[in-house]
């Protein structure tokens, strides 16, 4: 069974969003502060970086993160980034004084985790803007999946890394809040996690 590692920054009594536990994989949870300080052997098929992560601590764990990336690791990263924790990331750029039309989502590229979702999957309680209000600028070579701001802000993108690694960036509040409940079919979070893991290769778990 695939193994997913959820990097926790919030209160230890808070469980991760339920959607992360339902993608047909084992979900391991680690406090960010407890990650190794240096490179270590990659042991998980996917690393989930949820919203409200401690980016200062992620920066202190840069050697471990870069080591996972270099070994072909896969990431699902959420949220606005203020302090980049991997070399290809850049700080968030908001849409200046956005109108409601600016906050409407546009599909940019076909993607199996998004293609079958209903229109409005990104509306949280009917609200525009919760999905995102700008972007973490995509690095050169990234594939843009969804945009805001009439195509100008890449709210969802992914970058293929060395050794078949993949970094999927959702530059807004946690993607698990959108069309990822137990009655949502297809389930965005499950589909996205499964797709990311299919793209990257399995970690070598030999001791």
Partner 1 sequence: MRILAVNAGTSFHIESLEGPRYHGSFDGVIRPEDLASVDPAGYGALLIPCRTPAHRLIPHRARLARYLHQGGTVIAMGETNCERWLPGIRFTPLETNWWWWLDPAEDLGVRIAAPAHPLFRHLTQRDLAWHLHGFFDPPLGAEVLAADSEGRALLYIDEVTTRGRLIVTSLDPFYHHGHHFMPATTRFLDGFLPWLVEDLASRARAAAS
**What tokens were used for 39?**
């490179």
- The four Cα atoms 34, 82, 161, 57 give a dihedral, to 10 degrees, of -10
CA–CA gap between residue 118 and residue 186 (Å, rounded):
9
> Shortest gap between Cβ of 37 and partner 1 (angstroms)?
15
3-state helix, strand, coil in the chain (%, to 5): 20, 25, 55
Nearer to partner 1, 53 or 200 (CB): 53
The residues binding partner 1 (CB under 8 A) are: 9-13, 52-57, 79-83, 92, 94, 124-127, 129-130, 133-134, 173
Nearer to partner 1, 11 or 38 (CB): 11
Nearer to partner 1, 19 or 23 (CB): 19
> Shortest gap between Cβ of 108 and partner 1 (angstroms)?
21
With a CB cutoff of 8 Å and minimum separation 6, the contacts of 8 are 16, 29, 30, 31, 32, 50
Nearer to partner 1, 45 or 55 (CB): 55
> Shortest gap between Cβ of 82 and partner 1 (angstroms)?
4
Nearer to partner 1, 71 or 78 (CB): 78
With a CB cutoff of 8 Å and minimum separation 6, the contacts of 202 are 2, 45
In this structure, the chain runs to a length of 207
Helix (H) or strand (E) holding 107: strand 106-107
> Shortest gap between Cβ of 206 and partner 1 (angstroms)?
35
Nearer to partner 1, 57 or 63 (CB): 57
> Shortest gap between Cβ of 55 and partner 1 (angstroms)?
6
Look at the alpha carbons of 140, 145, 151, 153 in this order and tell me if their dihedral is positive or negative: negative
> Shortest gap between Cβ of 42 and partner 1 (angstroms)?
24
């Amino acid at each position: 069974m695939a193994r997913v590692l959820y990097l926790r920054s919030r209160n230890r009594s808070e469980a991760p969003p339920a959607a992360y536990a339902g993608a047909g994989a084992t979900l391991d949870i680690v406090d960010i502060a407890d990650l190794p300080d240096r490179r270590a052997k990659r042991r998980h098929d996917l690393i989930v970086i949820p919203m409200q992560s401690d980016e200062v601590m992620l920066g202190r764990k840069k050697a471990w993160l870069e080591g996972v990336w270099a070994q072909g690791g896969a990431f699902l990263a959420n949220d606005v980034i203020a302090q980049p924790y991997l070399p290809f990331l850049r700080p968030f750029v908001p849409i200046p004084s956005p109108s409601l039309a600016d906050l409407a989502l546009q599909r940019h590229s076909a993607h199996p985790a998004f293609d079958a979702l209903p229109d409005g999957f990104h509306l949280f309680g009917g609200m525009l803007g919760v999905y995102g209000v700008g972007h973490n600028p995509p690095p050169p070579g990234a594939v843009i999946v969804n945009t805001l701001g009439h195509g100008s802000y890449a709210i969802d993108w992914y970058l293929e890394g060395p050794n078949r690694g993949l970094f999927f960036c959702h530059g807004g509040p946690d993607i698990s809040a959108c069309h990822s409940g137990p009655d949502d079919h297809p389930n965005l979070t499950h589909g996205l996690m499964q797709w990311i893991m299919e793209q990257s290769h399995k970690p070598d778990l030999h001791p």
